Amino acid sequence: MAFLTRILSGCLLFCFSTVALAAVQITVTDQQGQPLEDAVVELLDPANQQFSQKKAEVKQQDLTFIPFVSAYQTGTAVDFPNMDKTRHHVYSFSPAKVFELKLYANKPEAPVLFDQAGIIALGCNIHDYMQAYIYIGDSPFLQVTDGKGLVAFNDIPDGTYQLKLWHPWQNADWVTQQVQIKQGQLMSYQLAITAQEKPKKPKKGFGASYTP
């Protein structure tokens, strides 16, 4: 009987733990209520900041930056591997990080360290239509919405956070909000967005095959 009690207690503890670790899900939509892809969601606790070191990269493939929008914490070093046969010249003039990776193939000698929060607009000096954005935030709880406009934080403690949202096509800056986070919570927010398309490479014969 005591053995059975221990099993049942263990099962209850496991079930409770599973519920406690359920993801906090946040959905972001545009003003028409449609799911918004490539929106950055940051949950910041100024009183309890921590750094979560992760490998990061923004690659160039098929004459396109992938991903179009990425989000990393301050102090992250990002690689820029070139998967194309042509060389690229990656740069940014954004105040949060000015850098330049001159014409190269394969992989640069060293990653770029992003040590200041802000928005970094990427370009290629050879292919003007190539564009991408990197959001650098101070929180480890930082994600980009998927095609359903959804992010899920699986390991965020309950508490009070500052919610920050950003999208490259937003009509106005999002006003930071204070939110209460609880495990298993479902939240939804809306950004005013003017519909635009991601930058695309031009049709063949319009510079797409240029190889310096």
Q: What is the pLDDT of residue 51?
A: 80
Half-sphere exposure of residue 194: CA atoms within 13 angstroms, side-chain side = 3
Tell me the pLDDT tens digit for each residue of 25-63: 999 999 889 999 999 999 999 887 788 767 899 999 999
Joined together, the tokens standing for residue 196 give 């635009």
121-168 confidence digits (pLDDT tens): 999 999 989 999 999 999 999 999 999 999 999 989 999 999 999 999
Tens digit of each residue's pLDDT (9 = 90 or more) over 67-121: 999 999 999 999 999 999 999 999 999 999 999 999 999 999 899 999 999 999 9
**Phi first, then psi: what are they for 13, rounded to 5°?**
-65, -40
- pLDDT-wise least confident of 38-42, 89-93, 196-200, 202-206: 202-206
* DSSP assignment of 175-205: PPEEEEE-TT-EEEEE--B---PPP-PPPTT
Residue 49: the pLDDT is 78
Residue 195 confidence (pLDDT)? 67
Say what the pLDDT of residue 133 is: 98
Question: Mean pLDDT across the chain, nearest whole number?
Answer: 85
Percentage of the chain beyond pLDDT 70 is 83
How far apart, in whole angstroms, are the C-alpha atoms of residue 188 and residue 30? 11
Domains delineated in the chain = 23-49+146-199 (2.60.40.1120), 54-138 (2.60.40.420)
Q: Tokens for 161? A: 């956070």
